Amino acid sequence: MLAFVDDLYDKMTESVNQELVEQENVLQQAEHACHVVGEYMLELKQLILAHVFQDNDEEIYFFKEEKPRFLNEFIYYSELFYIESNMPVGKDELQKGYLERNLVYSQAM
């Protein structure tokens, strides 16, 4: 099963990279990447629902190591989309202040 999960992750990464090349700006890239990663996470969920783990160690490994790789990508592109979609339009100073506030907020978490 782990080989299938690795292949699925590689396909997801390839699809995301293709979306990044095809889209014109960061906001569109993040939005499309979120959708792509979400689709692959649904596919992963379907795989897990149909799979019977051999033992507790395999199940623990999957939920501790494999699934977080997918979730990591989803969180990254979701946050990127949120930040870019709320970016103020206008002067560089406004945008810099906005990004600095988001940086301080993310470091506080």
Domain that holds residue 7: 2-108
For residue 104, the model assigns a pLDDT of 83
Quick one: pLDDT at residue 39? 97
pLDDT by residue for the chain (109 residues), tens digit each? 778 999 999 999 999 999 899 988 999 999 999 999 999 999 999 999 999 999 999 999 999 999 999 999 999 999 999 999 989 988 899 989 999 888 887 777 6
pLDDT of 109: 67
Token pair for residue 35? 């959708």
Counting the structural domains of the chain, the total is: 1
d(CA 68, CA 58) in angstroms, rounded, equals 15
pTM: 0.85
- Exposure class string for 29-66: b at 16+ Cβ within 10 A, else e: bbbbbbebbeebbeebeeebeeeeeeeeeeeeebeeeb
